Structure formats: structure tokens, C-alpha cells
Structure 1
């Protein structure tokens, strides 16, 4: 015990002595208080580089975002802002500020920034490979081969020509290595010949050209151009990185063997894993995403160690990923935000940091700048245009294709950076080509918009269909003196009923839309019970004399359009290029198609991916192209443009307060060329019983019984009837709405009350408008329809119209429709009082409906002006009468009709 005590004492004594000795020495621990102890955060610390990296990344991202805002108004891709941002932060502008480069971009910190940027570049090339759909190349191989080959051969040849001057003028500058002219020529030719496929997809999408002949040709040729360009670049890098031609040959053979290994070994195994895990049907899991990224990084590693750039391996990994089931799009959605918002701006900013506009300081250099731009644009333009012309396109289409193929964009900058890193290019030559890439990319969108505007596209389509004369633009007549469009118009005039219906499909409105559209289809033909085919054949002779069933009436043509928002993400652009496959497999479209077919409707549907600002234009254009009689627009259940599946009670109550959706509806109605109807849902199709919230979590007999009731199934709707109330105030909108109500009433489950409200003769004198200015501006069509009529003449015309329909109904329809005429001094208030008595009286039915015209006379709402309880946007969009009815809380849905086609007479 004594020895143990002595040992402990000696240990403590030695420890205290060592601590005292250390406190008297000159060793000082590095300050850990950061800026609180006066340290400089921008100081590059090799052991802790994250601080300086965050400063660099933050400045680059903020700078690029600020620059992109004004450039986006000019329809310029984001890469323009990123490169210009790098140029401004580099030696050209901010580098001239004393101490800026040394403090923010010190030489010691650049390797870390370059590492992150190059990792982003590898992932971006993987995304480019995912975006390239080789099915386009296979389905349009002839035009892709001709346009792509001509679009590469001519600029490659002229690039080789100008490479002779560049090689002799700038080959001895600092920062370059001595290489033979053949390798230098190959690199310059590639830089001239390559096309930026990702930027091209974005431009085609924004200009709505993907479905046009120009878009199909450019997309097909761009795929082949992209693949061939990267292969040639891999060849060039291999030649630069190898010392002898024999080594370069081995590198190329190894690369070829690796490509075959990926296609015939890796891809089948990868597909087996995807099918086994259900990733093609259900989307990739986290493990599958990890496996996909591991394949991309491993492929980059292999191509890097054999002497080819790592980005080529990532590109190949993206190419072997399948597009079936939207797998490539779903993988892109997982990683694109991090790559495009953080990694890629760093890479292109590094390009700008390596660009020094101050080196363009003499006449010969500027001569080469102009020469390089001219060769890059004119060679691409000429090759693509002539090849397109040989494929049967008109000259203006061909010129548009040539302009689009001249786009360089970010792919060109990647090629140039590889040349700078391989020391093929000097900083001066690199700057010359960066200026060329910026100019050609910047000019692509405005030139394309000028060469191929929407009006020219419509004229060209009509001319190709043989509908118009090209020189005069006048319709061509056939032998019987009528054009194709005239025949369709004549068919439409045979009946004022809705025969062609365009429906804006939204996920949050699908139950309502299905219930309403089914009313227009009517009941299908009554069918006999099904019989076994053999028994049916045996009994057919006995029933040969039976009377035939009534013939089915012609079904209504219904076309559903679902709009998906085109965002800045690459996955959104990929959806556009694969929109046909999306339309085939989309569950909303298929649900609508199947439901319509079962309800005597001829149904078709499509998906369109466009910017949110173009939603109204797309619907108006579709309705015009299809010669639709009616365009049905549901009011959003979420109160916004989004189709959120989870809708809270508060959101549902305040759905009329959305300014964005009101503006969308108002823009659509203002530009519509056919009748339009807005459907505001309030329990149409049957109300869902609200279940009370659980008050306790303790288990008791009461709570157990409540749990059983909570999961009880909803019973079928026993009463499938709908009651429609329509107050007829007069005007073009009300006349169109009246005809629509009578068409709905042909359905045996619909009853309708139609009341003509009219005022005294004195009230038809001039009444000062007291409604909102937005509501008045939206009533242009109604005013046009009654031009030249006095108020009294207009009211007499409406009364005659109401009376003529009242006395011309078939007997079976007259049983379900009640016509009334009432005189009132407060038209809207009396109509709302009767509406409360008419609708909502059968709470177990399938929902009631109030139909209103959008634009009514000022005297109808004069007494109620200024009493709106919703937003002014909703009042101007729905009209004052409809807005008052919706805000009153009447237990019925509201259909607001605007006349722009049938119903004006």
C-alpha cells in the first residue's frame, strides 16, 4: 500500500512540474476566437480552407444571380450571366482593384475552388448524358445525319483553316506547351464545330419550337452533334496527353473497349437492378441513386486514368441510363439543383477568372476575334441551313435551323477550359474564344425569334395544309367553292350546341371536372345484359325481327389539356422532349380519357410543359386550333397555380383571394376566341362528409366505436340529380349561358329553373357604371355584340330570345325545365334570394349549380356595388354578379360563362 501511494505522488509531482515548465515557455496556441481575436476570415488557411471557399462561392453566386435577372428579360441562358460574372470578377475588371484578387481569390485557395468546380463539371456532364435521348437519333437518323454532318463538317474545315493563323500567331505565348499543328488544328476544329445541346433544348422550349419541324430537326441533329463532338474531344485530349502516336492509339482502343463494356455489360446489369428494385416504375430509391452516382464517378475515374478527360466517362455513364418510366428525369431531379446552383456557377466563374480582356490589346488580336466569330457563326449557319433545305424545309425554316445550330453555350466553354488546362490555348487565345462563345450564344435567341416568329409558323402550317395562298394569304377554295375551314365552320353552324370542348385539367379539380363533363355526354345507349358468344349466336335467329335500338347521338369531342410548369431545371426541359410519352402514361390524362369514354364522350388529352406565364396563351391557342365551341376553366381549389394534393380548410375558404390565378383566368378570357366557362366548385358531384377530429387518445368504448365510424366506407350517391338555377339578365354572355344550360338539361339527371329578370323601362336609361374598372374592361365582347342597340331594343331582343327558346323545347326536355319571368327593381338581390330557395334543398343529391353570365348590365349590380367581400381581382375575373353569388355562401357551385363565339347572335 505504501508503494502504491509513493507511485501516485511521484506521478502527480512530475505532471505539475511539466505543466509549470510549459507555461514558462514561448509556445503559444493558435487563436481560436476567429474575428473576435482579430483574425482575417479571408486569410487562406490550408488546414481550414472552408472559410475562404464560402466567401468565394458566396460572392460568385450572388454576382451571377444579380447579373442573370436583367439578362433573363432578354431570354438569355444562365450560363451567359455566369461567364460574364467570372469575367467581371477576374483580371478584366475587379482584378484591377488593388488587393481584390489577393484577398478573395488568392493563388493558394484556387486548388480547392477548382476541385469543387470540377466535381460539379463531372456531375454536370453526367446530367448532359442523361438529357441526351438516343431515341431521337434513331427515329430521325436521316435528317440528324445530314444536318448534323453538314453542321459539323463545314465549321470543322473552316476552323482548321483559321487554326493555321492562330497557331503561327499565338503558339509561342506563355502558358502553352509545344504541340504539333495537327493536334492544335483538331482542337480548334472541334471548338468551332460543337453545339451546346443543353442550351439548345432550353432555347427551343422557351420559344415553343420543340414540336415544330424546326425543333425536331435541331433536336435530332443536336444529339448526334453532341455525341460526335465529345468523342472527338476525347481523341484530342488523348493525343495531347500522350507522348507518342502508338500510345495515343492504345488510349483510343482502350476507350473504345470501355464504351463497349459499358453498353454490353454494365447497362444490362444496371437494368436488371432497376427492374429488380422497381426503380423504373416507382422511381429511384436512395440506394439506386447512390449506385448511379457511383457508376458515373467510376466511369470518370477510368477515363481519367487512361489519358482521356474524366468528364467523358461521366457523359458515357449518363448515356447508358434508361429513359423508360422517366428514370433519367427522376435521377436528374435528385441532383440537378445542387449541381446547377452551386457547382456549375463556380466552374464557369473560373472560366471568367481565366479570361483577361486586357490581352485583346492590338489590332491583330481583334482581327482574330472577328474572324473567329465570323467562322463559328457563318460556317454553322451555312452548313445547317443548306442541309435542312435539302431535307425539304423552306428557306426560312432552314435559316432558323442554321442559327440554332450555331449556339455554343456552356459546352463550348467546357471545351475551351479543357484546352486551357491542357495548355493547348494561351490565355489570350482562350479569351478570344470565350468572347466568340458569348456572342454566338447571346445572338441565338433574338435571331431565332426574328426569323421564325409565331405568326410565320401559323402561316406556314396553313400553307402546308393547302388552306391558304402563300403570296396573298387568302384561303384557297376547292372545286365546290368551299375551303376545309369553311366546311368545319358550316358543320358548327348546324347546331348551336357545344360539340367541341376544351378542358383545362388540374389534379385538384379532377372530381369536379369529371362530374360536370359527364353531364354534357348524356346517358349512353341502354344495353342488354351481356350474353355468352355461343348462346348469343344461337338466339340471334330468333331475335332477327326485333326492333333496333335507338341510335346514339354524336358524342361531344372533349380535349383535355394538362399544363406542367417549365422551370429552370434541366429535368423540366427533359419532360418537354419526352412529353408524348408523358401524355400516354400520365394518370390524370388516362383517368379523364377512360371516364369520358364511359360517358359517351370522344376524349383526347395531352400534356404541355410551358412557363407559367404562358399558360393562358397555350389554352387560347389550343382552343383556336381545335375550333372549340367552349373552353372550360376550373377555379383552383388551392387558390394558386399549383396543384397541391393537400388542401387545408383555410386554403379552400380563401381560394378566391389568389391574385395569380385570377390574373391567369382574366388573361385567358380576354384573349379567348371561343365561348369560355369558369367553374367554381362547391360540392358538385356530391359532398364529402367532414369527420370530426379525435378529442382523446385514451382507449375507451366510445373511442373504439368512433374509430370504427372513422373508417366507414362512403355510400354511393343515391340521388344523382343536379338542379341548375340560371338568372337571365340579358346580353351576349347570358344568351350563350342559356343555351349551355339547356344542353345540360338534356341529361335526364338534370333539372333547371330559368328566370328572366327585367327591370322597368326607366331603369334601362343610362346608368353610370359603378362596378370595378377591371370588370368593365373584360366586357368588350358583350358591348360589341349590342353595338347600335338602345337599352330598350336590347332588352326586347333578350326577351324575344328567352321566349323563343321557352316555346321551342321538346316535350321530354320541357318536363325538366321551368321558365319564369319576373320584374324587379333590385335584380341581383332578388335573383340571389330565389337562388337560395332553389338550390341546396336536396343535400343528398349530386350537387346543384348556379349559371351566370360574366358581363351583365350596370343596372343589375348598381345597387350592390362596393359590397364585395372577396378580392378585386376575383370580382374583375368572375364578373360582379358571379362574385356576389360566390361570396354569399349559397350551397351550390357556380358556372360563369363568357361569350366569344356561339351565343353572340
Structure 2
């Protein structure tokens, strides 16, 4: 009896067997015309390009839609495959037959396998096995709890469901076990970063356990694929030998070769003036070698992905690895890998899950797949004193799935370990698990509760000589020197302690960045650290060296924040709240050039600074470094050098906060401080009447603004009085008042009279309404610096000076500093006019008094 059957243009041969043959006619064009006489979509390459464009477009669209929900990328990957696959396209048969003819599968799956091979190379390139040797008992126990129970459940489900099928092989249970065991380390790292949990105990534990889970899953997959492809356990031997050769022979050889190439390139760079240890030739060699290693593992009876993964693993971390990653990653994940997601979508059909006869299989599969790892993790966590809610959150995090999970499913599908229904059910289970991680974590775990009772103390409200807790943020090693110089003139001493939290801000781009957290958690190092780790070590060493320069009065705690630039400010604020920080100092997004101008260093830093100033509850300062010089003890002891600092005081809470910091600096030996207070003259611009935003029909807007301006003026006068009284015997402080009529005259005065200082300190003046800055907003290029700060950065001063722009935190209030016999009512209603009150002249007999006649 014939087993052949015809479906449209296709003839299926041997239909009743486990493997079938599909025959089809391929139209050929014999015309010599330049015009197409055959539909170009029947050709493999144009058809594949159309499919690729559609899946990429769908993926990008879903990424934009899911971004506000903070969903990991894998959710958009799976959903785009489902939407463009059989689940949806079969609803329109005419369109599906044109877009996905059977003959297109060969090209699509070939490109998908190439994408997976290079993706696995990137995974190996980013992976670091060092933490495995230093893992703690808690993380190891949680990792085991996420491996063994799901593995047992996977085997049990397979025996109950799939073994009834005559085509289901017994070794398919291995893929069910691995499918429920997998935890995606990179997707978990990005999710923790998005939810600001990377540096919490929960996040560190989850990351450390996930990397163990990830490595174990890969090892199990390698063994299962090799055995099944070779049909015997003996086929493991060639693969094991190859892996051993890679690790013990090729890894040292590749390391030596790379070092020799780097040395030759460095010598060549010195002669030619070029930069970098490696060239494009090295990158091209690595990319070609990926295919060679994949081919070797195919010969060994395994899969090309395993060879590519091993090659990535043996390449030492460093500049070459980073260079290859930067060149290849976007192309692989953005162009090649979507072909795999489309192929995955064509293999499953979620509409089958809604049939009544499949409910008894689908529901238990999805429920057990989702909750087994959560329950087992909660149970083990309770033995380590972890709260039930935190244990539940940890179990949910360990359920995060990624590309590896999809690879396991597709391997299982190829050997018929999964049929159409169970394959689709597991795909939906993966989607539910990963999609629900974010909402569940937001609801079940809220670490911010610990900090809600914390009251922020800004500099203005701090008691004299109290401890200053400052957080200095750096994005690269270039920022460290200038930050340390700024800390050196912040009066660190036993009498006035300085607690510094040196934060290295690292963009979360992959496993290398996330591995910093794992290394810090386990206190482990690496023989060949990645660029991120090497930079992190240099930054930590620099801050620790600063601490060692002082025998007392200085404490330094280096930290690392790994996050995307869009959410980095949230991590900084969380750290500041946890450490009770009073001032956060961040670098400006521009850096000086040899020509004396400023150029963009990293535009993303500007976004971080703006977000930080908009949301930070504590004071924030932006430091524009233009070569701030340091004052050594030898110079100050002999009076050879003095650092000239000027504080421009216009008025408002930000300026009072800036003055408080400048006041502290003035106590540092070798620092001369000049405080210039600008006051409106009698002919000053009437800012109230000129401001259109304050006008209203009933005049309430101008009345409220006028009241606020008067209040700020009283607070300014009171704080200036206190400053002058307490610093009257400090010969290193000079106080000057200057009358001006407008913002233009303020700028002229700065450019003509106060243009030769090493450091300018100003308040941002956010929301300030003043005649002294009128007309400056229209020319403001960097609003985060405020009107005066932006003028100083853009101004052509006599010397290239650094600028520190301070914004008082939201908790700053307008209260007078405590601990002084001169605060309170006596000064709160006093308007300071030095020439009109001769009795105060004794307080300022060593200061300069500028003329008060205006211009």
C-alpha cells in the first residue's frame, strides 16, 4: 500500500514513518530577458530577506511596547516568533503559503543555526568560571534547589505524558529535565538592574546561584546532545577529549598568541602613532575560528554550537574580547538571531492549547513548570533565615528564562521529546514565567521600605565640623584623579571627618558587567580580568590609596553600580539612601581638550546627571573638571602654593548649599576662598513685572512669587551673617559684595573682576527668580548647570578653571543651621548691609569690600 500523499505542490513520501521525504517542483527561468519572468519570492534568498525583515520589525515594535513594563528582551523574542509563526499566520492560509513555503525552511534554519553558533560564541566569550571556586554554601544550596527538583519533575512529566506516544524516545526525558532547570544569567542580570536589585542581598544571591545553574545546564545539554547524536555513551569521548584539549592546551596557546600579537601591535603602534593593541585582522581571525571550532565539534558527533561556545570560553578576557564583542554582538543578536526566533515560532502553535482534549496535558505542564523551582527555592531559603517573601521573590527570579531554554526545547523537538502540544505548552510556560517575574518582584519585594524613615541632612543644616558623607561617582578612570583632588580640599581631618563612597558606574551591556557583581560578592579575582573588571580594580586602588594618605579622619568604601544609563540614577539614589549620604558628586559629560575647549565624552552621562538632579532627595553636585591641581603638604607647609577658590553667591537654597561646601573647603590648609555675593542695585530689572509666567488675572501668582522671593532673601541674609561671623578670624576667606542691575552685568563682573581662579563653586539656582540672572536662561546650553554655572563653563576666563555646581536636595528645606548661638530670630529677619552697619566692620577688617555703587 502506498504511503505517499500529495498536498498542493508537495508530495510527502513515507508519511507513516518517523522521518518523511517532501518532494516539490522548483520553477526555472530560461528566458534571456532582463525582466523577471518568475516570482522572485519563490527564490530562497529574497524570501528569507523578507522573512527576516518582518521578524526584526515585529521584534522592534514589541520591544517598544513592552519597554514601559520593564520586560526582558526574551519576552519580545518569544512573542515576535509566535506572532509571525504558525499560531497567527495559519489564520490567513493564503498569506502563510506565500511567506513560509516549505522550501524556505532550509535557508531559514541554516541561518538560524549560524546565528545560534555565533550567539553561543558570545556567551562563552562573556562567561567567567572563576566564581564557581569561591561560591558560598547559601548560593550553592539555592542553586542546587533550582536544579534537582525541577530536573526530577521534568523526568516525571515526560514519563507521564510523552512516553505514551510510540514515537517518543526514552532519552527525551533528559531534555524535559534540562528545560525546567535552565536559568538565564544575562536576562536575570538585566532584570535585576532594571528593578534596582543588583546590589541587594537578594540580587547578589540570585546572580551567584544563576551562574552555577547556567553552567550546569550547559554541561547537561552538551552531554545529552552528544549522546543522542552518536546513539551511544561512547560518543561522549571525542567531545570530552576535544573540550579537554581546548581547556588545557589551546587556552594557554591562545593566551600566549594573543599576548605576542598585542606586543607586536603595541610596538607597531609606537612607530606609526596608531592606538590599540589589536587590529581588525585579529577580530576577523577570531570570527573565522568560530566556524572552524563549530566544524570540529560537528565531526566529533556533537553540535557546532558547542565548539563555538568552547572557543569563546578559552579566549582570555580583556581588550581583544571586548573588541570582538563590540564588533559582533549587535549583528548577531539583532540580525542573525531573529531568524532562530522565527523558526521557533513556526514550530509551535499555541492555538492547539485551547482544544478541550489537550487541557488535561497543557494545564498541569504549565502550572508545574512555573512553580516547581519557586517552591524548592523557598524551601531551601528558609533554612538560611531568608524571609518567606524574599524566598518567594528569589524563586521567581530563578525562573527567568533565555535563549538557552529555547535551544533546549528545539533540540527536544528535533528528537521528538516534545510533540506539537507539549512544545507549545512549554513555550507558553516560559513566556508566563519570564513575563511575570517583573510584576511579582515589584509586588513581593520592596527593599526601599528600609530607607523610608531616613531623613536626609544637607550641608547647610549640618553642624560645624560634623562628618561629611559624600558619594563620588566616576564613569571611567579619567574621572578618578579629579574627584580625589576635590576630596583632598574638602577638609578631611580628625576634627572634620570625611566618609567617601567611591562609586564606579558601569553600563550593563552583558555578562562582563554583571560578573562584576558576582566577583564582588565572592571576593574573587581573575588572572585575566575583563576590561570592566580591570578598570574597576584601578578605580578601587585609587580610592584606597587616597584613604591611606590620611592617618585619620578619612574612610573610603569603593562600590560598583552596574545598570543601564536610563536607570542608573535610581541605583545611585538607592545607594545614597542606604549610606545616609549628604552630597553626591558626579562628573560633567564633557571633558577638556588640549585646545582649552570642552568636548563630549559620553552623552549618556548627561542623561544620568539630569535624572539624578530631578529625583535625588539629597544634594547633588556636578563637577566640571578642567585640570584642578592638587595641593601637596610640602607646598602648603612652606606657603608656596595656594588653591584659589571663588564662590559666586546670587541667592536661593542651592547657593546656600554651595556656600556651605565652600566654607568647609576654606578650612583646608592651602585653600584661599573668595565669596562674591551679587546684590540687586536700585536700578535692577523688575523681574516680577517682566515675568509672563507669574502674571494672572487676580494677581495671586505675582503675590505668591513675591512672598517666596522675600523669604529666600531673609534666609540668604541670615546664612551670610552666620558665615561672616564664624569666619571673621579666618584670614584665608575673603568676602565681597557687588551691586548689579541684570544678568548681563553679573556676567560682565565675573569676566572682568573674578576671572582668575582655580575653582568656581556656584549653586544651580533651580527655580530661582532673580534680576541678577535675568536674560541668561535664553543662552543656557546646559540647564543642569544653572544660569551662572553654564556661563562659567562657556566663558573665556583668564585661566581654564574647574566648576562645581551644587543643587540642594529636596529635603533641604529652609531651616537655619543648628548649633550656633547666632541662629534663630536674631538673624532670621536681618538684611545684611555692611556699609550701613558700621558695627560689623570689625568682623571683616581683613576682607575686601567692593564698591557698592553699581555700574
Sort the TM-score into its range (normalised by shorter chain). Answer: 0.7 to 0.9
Alpha-carbon deviations, 1:839-871, whole Å to 9, x = none? 22x5xxx6353534625863444xx64453424
Q: 2:256 matched to 1:272?
A: yes
2:138 is paired with a residue whose SS is helix
Question: How far 1:331 moved relative to its partner?
Answer: 4.3
2:502 is paired with a residue whose SS is strand
Q: 2:239 matched to 1:259?
A: no
Q: How does 1:761-776 map to 2 (within 5 A)?
A: 767=688, 770=691
Distance of 1:820 and 1:51 partners within structure 2: 76
Match of 1:839 in 2: 754
Q: 2:724 matched to 1:806?
A: yes
Distance of 1:793 and 1:184 partners within structure 2: 77
Match of 2:61 in 1: 66
> Unaligned stretches of 5+ in structure 1?
1-26, 460-472, 476-484, 523-550, 639-644, 687-717, 774-782
Contact kept in structure 1, 2:466 and 2:497, CA below 8 Å: no
Distance of 2:247 and 2:627 partners within structure 1: 55
Question: How far 1:518 moved relative to its partner?
Answer: 4.0
Q: How does 1:626-641 map to 2 (within 5 A)?
A: 626-637=579-590
Question: How far 1:308 moved relative to its partner?
Answer: 3.2
Match of 2:309 among 305, 312, 315: 315
Question: How far 1:420 moved relative to its partner?
Answer: 1.8
Distance 1:223 1:607, change over 3 A: closer
Q: How does 1:595-634 map to 2 (within 5 A)?
A: 605-634=558-587
Alpha-carbon deviations, 1:726-746, whole Å to 9, x = none? 454444333333333333334
Question: How far 1:75 moved relative to its partner?
Answer: 2.2
Distance of 2:442 and 2:128 partners within structure 1: 26
Match of 2:141 in 1: 146
Distance of 2:257 and 2:183 partners within structure 1: 34
Distance of 2:768 and 2:238 partners within structure 1: 80
Q: 2:343 matched to 1:350?
A: yes
Question: How far 1:297 moved relative to its partner?
Answer: 4.0
Question: How far 1:53 moved relative to its partner?
Answer: 2.8
Match of 1:751 among 655, 658, 672: 672
Distance of 2:226 and 2:745 partners within structure 1: 85
Question: How far 1:379 moved relative to its partner?
Answer: 1.1
Distance 1:387 1:720, change over 3 A: same
Distance of 2:67 and 2:586 partners within structure 1: 30
Contact kept in structure 1, 2:206 and 2:394, CA below 8 Å: yes
Q: 2:619 matched to 1:675?
A: yes
Match of 1:420 among 410, 413, 416: 413
Match of 1:499 in 2: 468
Q: How does 1:442-457 map to 2 (within 5 A)?
A: 442-456=435-449
Structure 1 residues 789-798 or 119-128, which shifts more? Answer: 789-798
Q: 2:24 matched to 1:55?
A: no
Match of 2:211 among 212, 223, 242: 223
Distance of 1:256 and 1:684 partners within structure 2: 58
Distance of 1:848 and 1:804 partners within structure 2: 23
Alpha-carbon deviations, 1:749-771, whole Å to 9, x = none? 54343344555899999946839
Distance of 2:815 and 2:585 partners within structure 1: 18
Distance of 2:328 and 2:412 partners within structure 1: 28
Match of 1:410 among 403, 425, 429: 403
Contact kept in structure 2, 1:419 and 1:425, CA below 8 Å: yes
Contact kept in structure 2, 1:558 and 1:602, CA below 8 Å: yes
Alpha-carbon deviations, 1:312-352, whole Å to 9, x = none? 343344444444x4765554334322221122111121010
Structure 1 residues 672-681 or 446-455, which shifts more? Answer: 672-681
Q: How does 1:540-619 map to 2 (within 5 A)?
A: 556-567=498-509, 569=510, 572-574=513-515, 577=518, 582=532, 585-586=535-536, 587=538, 590=541, 594=545, 605-619=558-572
Match of 2:777 in 1: 868
Question: How far 1:884 moved relative to its partner?
Answer: 5.7
Q: How does 1:642-791 map to 2 (within 5 A)?
A: 652=599, 664-680=608-624, 685=629, 721-747=642-668, 749-758=670-679, 767=688, 770=691
Distance of 1:646 and 1:752 partners within structure 2: 27
Alpha-carbon deviations, 1:529-583, whole Å to 9, x = none? xxxxxxxxxxxxxxxxxxxxxx98666343333323334x555545665578646
Match of 2:382 among 376, 386, 389: 389
Alpha-carbon deviations, 1:385-421, whole Å to 9, x = none? 2122223322222111211222333222111111222
Distance of 1:102 and 1:797 partners within structure 2: 77
Contact kept in structure 2, 1:828 and 1:881, CA below 8 Å: no
Distance 1:454 1:860, change over 3 A: farther
Question: How far 1:164 moved relative to its partner?
Answer: 2.9
Match of 1:373 among 346, 366, 373: 366
Contact kept in structure 1, 2:763 and 2:786, CA below 8 Å: no
Contact kept in structure 2, 1:120 and 1:344, CA below 8 Å: yes
Distance of 1:106 and 1:592 partners within structure 2: 62
Distance 1:685 1:90, change over 3 A: same
Distance of 1:194 and 1:423 partners within structure 2: 20
Contact kept in structure 2, 1:409 and 1:438, CA below 8 Å: no
Match of 1:898 in 2: 807
> Unaligned stretches of 5+ in structure 2?
1-27, 267-275, 526-531, 631-638, 695-702, 817-855
Distance of 1:327 and 1:288 partners within structure 2: 8
Question: How far 1:115 moved relative to its partner?
Answer: 1.2
Distance of 1:596 and 1:178 partners within structure 2: 66
Distance of 1:28 and 1:306 partners within structure 2: 41
Distance of 1:663 and 1:125 partners within structure 2: 33
2:471 is paired with a residue whose SS is strand
Question: How far 1:298 moved relative to its partner?
Answer: 4.5
2:735 is paired with a residue whose SS is strand
Alpha-carbon deviations, 1:419-440, whole Å to 9, x = none? 2222333333322222222222
Match of 1:201 in 2: 189
Distance of 2:545 and 2:794 partners within structure 1: 35
Match of 1:641 in 2: none
Question: How far 1:661 moved relative to its partner?
Answer: 6.5
2:343 is paired with a residue whose SS is helix
Question: How far 1:790 moved relative to its partner?
Answer: 8.2
Distance of 1:719 and 1:219 partners within structure 2: 53
Question: How far 1:205 moved relative to its partner?
Answer: 3.1
Match of 2:490 in 1: 520
TM-score by length of 1: 0.72
Higher Rg: 1
Question: How far 1:167 moved relative to its partner?
Answer: 2.0
Distance of 1:674 and 1:453 partners within structure 2: 21
Question: How far 1:376 moved relative to its partner?
Answer: 0.7
Contact kept in structure 2, 1:733 and 1:897, CA below 8 Å: yes
Question: How far 1:98 moved relative to its partner?
Answer: 3.9
Match of 1:858 among 752, 761, 769: 769
Contact kept in structure 1, 2:158 and 2:176, CA below 8 Å: yes
Alpha-carbon deviations, 1:261-287, whole Å to 9, x = none? 333333333333344444899776556
Alpha-carbon deviations, 1:77-107, whole Å to 9, x = none? 2232233222222222223424333333222
Contact kept in structure 1, 2:193 and 2:564, CA below 8 Å: no
1:208 is paired with a residue whose SS is coil
Question: How far 1:443 moved relative to its partner?
Answer: 1.6
Contact kept in structure 2, 1:771 and 1:866, CA below 8 Å: no
State how many pairs are aligned.
746
